[in-house]
Amino acid sequence: MKYVLRTIDICKNYKDFKALNGLTMNVPQGSIYGFVGKNGAGKTTLIRLVCGMQLPTSGELELYGAKLTDNKEMSRSRRRMGAVVETPSIYYDMTAVDNLKQQYRILGLPSFDGIDDILKLVGLEDTGKKKAKHFSLGMRQRLGIAIALCGDPDMLVLDEPINGLDPQGIIEIRELILKLNRERKITVLISSHILDELAKLATHYGFIDKGRIIREMSAEDLESACRKCMRINVTDTAVLAKVLDDMGLEYTIIDDSHADIYAKPNITQLSMALANENCEVLTVEEHDESLESFYISLVGGAGND
């Protein structure tokens, strides 16, 4: 697998505080990599390092094969990347077109060719002379992404792009990110703490807690980990475990009275088998673990290592 971004044991210290603590991650080319963590976990710090806004205290970072120690190659690699970090870098007294023209000048591009195409891509082609200060929050976020697309980057870095947006704005940003990834083959590194929304986008995940990656996995692996099951409430899970073993069913015991069964057993047959062992079925319901609950279980496990 080819990676566009790799970090190895990255640390970032602010005096005695370790914002990043040996973080290692791998972003596959062509992926939408969901960078998952609660506020303060180190997501924005890592993104600042990737974008060259700060330098790590220690560790290695590679972008398209270029290392931090090779300033010339790293600078060239970063020109292949666009970013929206924290808030979109837009000029509020300018129109959408003038914002993009300004970015073209900053990048030293020879002409304004492509600006109309970018605005159409992000759905801002009809904003005319309307200044950015009169845009909705969602429109400003899309303008920020449009600016990041100037220079035709191969990779986008988006820091909490749906934060504060209304439901319609969230849908628009989601559809735009998917379009950029599928049609333009742009690799996207996206940080978010709105995990259920991220689950509609990401092809890969990196779960971060206390400045380090505690697990990386593909969307397929996550779907398997968060698979549907039957959650059963019984009077004795020790008896339930014995009966399920005899039936050859896969399960997880949660506590003394609850378990998850990864199949759809014949409830009548199961109830009768349990009744013969003096165990009563109290409730049965379908259960599907969310990304949020999976992350919480990961963080809880990491804290107990």
Q: Quick count: other Cβ atoms within 10 Å of Cβ 211?
A: 23
Please choose, from the candidates 201, 206, 221, the residue with its C-alpha nearest in 3D space to the C-alpha of residue 295. 206
Contacts 24+ apart (CB under 8 A), 72-78: 78/51, 78/52
Do 88 and 161 form a contact (C-beta atoms < 8 A)? no
What integer pLDDT is reported at residue 300 of this predicted model? 67
**Residue 3 near residue 26 (C-beta atoms within 8 A):** yes
User: Which candidate, 272, 293, 271, places its Cα nearest to that of 283?
Assistant: 271
pTM recorded for the entire structure: 0.80
Can you give 257-268 as a three-state secondary structure string?
CEEEECCCCCHH
Average pLDDT score over residue span 5-33: 95
Mean pLDDT of 208-236: 89
Reading phi first (left if > 0) and then psi (alpha if -120 to 50, else beta), residue 131 is in beta
Asked if the model's pLDDT at residue 214 lies above 80, the reply is yes
Contacts made by residues 299-303, CB under 8 angstroms, sequence distance 24+? 299/38, 299/207, 299/209, 299/214, 302/209, 302/210, 302/214, 303/209
Q: Which two tokens stand for residue 110?
A: 């020879």
The domains located in the chain, with CATH, are 3-217 (3.40.50.300), 228-288 (3.30.70)
Q: Residue 217 in 3-state DSSP?
A: strand
Q: State the pLDDT at residue 304.
A: 39
Looking at the chain, which runs of residues are DSSP E strands? 3-14, 17-28, 32-36, 58-63, 66-67, 81-84, 155-159, 187-192, 204-209, 212-218, 228-234, 251-253, 258-261, 281-288
| pLDDT tens readout for residues 56-81 | 999 999 999 999 989 999 999 999 99
